[in-house]
């Protein structure tokens, strides 16, 4: 029967909690195994929960440490009331079952799952290297050998999943994590679907059902948008978008709105930059085909010249390529936050503020010659600025837009398209504005009843938090 909001706590407990199940073993083989005492069922009390690593619409991920082994994990904690209210219980159960049957070096491992009165818990392998998304943003674009290796790892893990009858359905750089050895790990199976029932699926209790339209705008395939049957080709379309983005720094389909993005996808309308490698161009062109039946299959992709240097048989044990990280400017928060003399009042004599060196006047917070001057009004000054991703949840997924965030002396919070050099909007300032740090690269602004999720690209999140605190304090003391 289908899981519905009327499921009792006992029903959910029996189906959700426990360590991942393994397929049943025939009696003849089971008798050969030595009997062992049953494992202790784990719960929230067995872990210490630390820093917030990330959050979504109904779940948060915390760093968790086992109290017995001291091993670190990523604990995804799902709000039970939310998923029941929005009839997402079946999706949570499906995610747990999918993770339980997927055993692959390129998939984040599920250590255990349990629940309490308020939450479902997924205790997952902790992958410390951050998202592929963050790497692309830091680098601008990836060197071809790196993009080729990671493209191969994506195709390799899709081959494994499709062989088990599973579609991921939300491939994007935010769902690919970098392990300590720089290999990729695929995560977030909350929207995974079934294309055919394997034996392991039947043993785990998974069910085949109609698949709805899910995914993230820039990576979703045309047939998903058209409501047509979803096959393995859906994931391969997304993989092509990822290969394009790794090489160029941007996804192939971009637009000012979801509607415009979808129109480009439905007609496969995209361009290549002039420096696009020819073999990569040929591969992507043959993968981003509107008709899923005419897209390259996985064997054809693996045989393509773009991947000629890949040792597919030993890929997961091959050393991952290295890269040179771009130089990051040394950030001194105290010297980059300019004192505020009062809204609309320029500092007298144009002297450097007390304690601020001449060197700090040459960085991006100065007013003379700054490219951001055109967005300021008379006597307004830039207090702090940096490149960010403004993130938001929308109807079909998670969206990010690169913007230059500018904190000014009035105060105002502007966000500018740094390529088009156009003002895209303003986050309202209020006396009750709160800047809340989430982790090293992410913070949230709470103001006038709204929440703005910010991912920092050029600075650390704590630098922004310090800037907002100082500016708010200066205005409170006026």
Sign of dihedral through CA atoms 425, 430, 432, 434?
positive
Among residues 46, 51, 116, 170, the one annotated as catalytic is 170
CA distance 158 to 234: 11
Q: How far apart are CA 218 and CA 253, in angstroms?
A: 6
| CA nearest to 288, candidates 358, 222, 215 | 222
- CB contact set of 281 (below 8 Å; sequence gap of 6+): 272
As given in the structure block, the two tokens for residue 216 are 């993230």
Q: Are strands 450-456 and 442-447 parallel, antiparallel or unpaired?
A: antiparallel
> Under a CB-based contact definition with an 8 Å cutoff, are residues 374 and 388 in contact?
no
Dihedrals phi, psi of 333, to nearest 5 degrees:
-60, -45
Q: What is the token pair recorded at 49?
A: 């929960």
- Within 10 angstroms of residue 201's Cβ, the number of other Cβ atoms is 19
Task: State how far the Cα of 164 lies from the Cα of 200, in Å rounded to an integer.
Answer: 8
Q: 76 a known binding residue?
A: yes
Q: Is 170 a catalytic residue?
A: yes
Nearest-Å Rg of the Cα atoms of the chain is 25
Helix H or strand E segment including 88: none
Angle between helix axes 232-248 and 132-139 (nearest 10 degrees) is 30
Summarize the annotated binding site for ATP as residue ranges: 76
Summarize the annotated binding site as residue ranges: 76
- Residues with a catalytic annotation lie at 170
């Amino acid at each position: 029967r289908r899981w519905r909001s009327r499921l009792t706590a006992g029903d959910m407990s029996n189906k959700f909690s426990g360590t991942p199940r393994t397929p049943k073993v025939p009696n003849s083989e089971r008798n050969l195994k030595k009997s062992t005492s049953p494992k202790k069922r784990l719960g929230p009390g067995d872990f210490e929960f630390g820093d917030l690593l990330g959050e979504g619409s109904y779940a948060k991920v915390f760093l968790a440490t086992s109290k017995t082994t001291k091993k670190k994990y990523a604990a995804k904690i799902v709000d039970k009331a939310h998923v029941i209210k929005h009839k997402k219980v079946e999706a949570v159960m499906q995610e747990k079952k999918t993770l339980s049957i997927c055993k692959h070096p390129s998939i984040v491992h599920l250590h255990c799952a349990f629940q309490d009165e308020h939450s479902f818990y997924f205790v997952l392998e902790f992958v410390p290297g951050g998202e592929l998304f963050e790497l692309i943003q830091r680098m601008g674009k990836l060197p071809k050998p790196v993009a080729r290796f990671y493209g191969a790892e994506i195709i390799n893990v899709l081959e494994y999943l499709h062989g088990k009858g599973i579609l991921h359905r939300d491939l994007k750089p935010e769902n690919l994590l970098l392990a300590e050895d720089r290999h990729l790990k695929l995560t977030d199976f909350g929207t995974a679907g079934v294309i055919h029932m394997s034996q392991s699926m039947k043993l785990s209790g998974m069910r085949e059902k109609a698949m709805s339209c899910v995914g993230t705008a820039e990576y979703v395939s045309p047939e998903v948008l058209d409501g047509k049957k979803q096959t393995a080709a859906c994931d391969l379309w997304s993989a092509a978008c990822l290969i394009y983005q790794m090489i160029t720094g941007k996804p192939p389909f971009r637009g000012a709105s979801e509607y415009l993005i979808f129109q480009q996808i439905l007609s496969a309308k995209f361009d290549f930059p002039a420096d696009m490698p020819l073999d990569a161009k040929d591969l992507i062109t043959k993968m981003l085909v509107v008709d899923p039946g005419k897209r390259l299959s996985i064997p054809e992709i693996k045989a393509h010249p773009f991947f000629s240097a890949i040792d597919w048989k030993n890929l997961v044990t091959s050393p991952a390529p290295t890269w040179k990280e771009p130089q990051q400017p040394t950030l001194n928060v105290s010297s980059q936050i300019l004192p505020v003399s009062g809204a609309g009042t320029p500092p007298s004599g144009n002297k450097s503020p007390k304690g601020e060196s001449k060197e700090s006047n040459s960085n991006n917070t100065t007013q003379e010659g700054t490219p951001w001057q055109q967005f300021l009004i008379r006597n307004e000054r830039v207090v702090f600025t940096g490149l960010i991703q403004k993130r938001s949840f929308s109807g079909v997924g998670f969206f990010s837009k690169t913007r230059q965030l500018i904190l000014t002396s009035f105060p105002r919070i502007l966000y500018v398209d740094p390529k088009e050099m156009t003002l895209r909007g303003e986050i309202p300032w209020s006396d009750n504005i709160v800047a809340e740090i989430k982790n090293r690269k992410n913070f949230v602004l709470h103001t006038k009843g709204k929440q703005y999720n910010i991912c920092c690209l050029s600075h650390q999140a704590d630098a922004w938090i310090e800037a907002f605190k100082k500016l708010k304090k200066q205005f409170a003391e006026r």
